[in-house]
Homo-oligomer: A and B are copies of this chain.
Amino acid sequence: MANRTYSITEIVGTSDESVESAIRNGIGRVVQTVRHVDWFEVTEIRGNVHEGEVAYYQVGMKVGFRLEDA
Q: A-side interface residues toward B, CB under 8 Å?
A: 3-16, 18-33, 37-42, 44-49, 52-54, 56-57, 60, 62-64, 67, 70
Bound: A20/B49 CA distance, A: 13
Bound: A35/B4 CA distance, A: 20
Residues of chain B with a CB closer than 8 A to A48's CB: 38-39
Please name 18 further chain A to chain B contacts, defined as beta carbons within 8 Å, in addition to the given A3-B21, A28-B52, sorted by A numbering: A3-B13, A3-B16, A5-B14, A5-B26, A7-B11, A8-B11, A11-B67, A12-B64, A18-B18, A18-B20, A23-B47, A24-B53, A27-B53, A40-B46, A40-B49, A41-B45, A42-B44, A49-B63
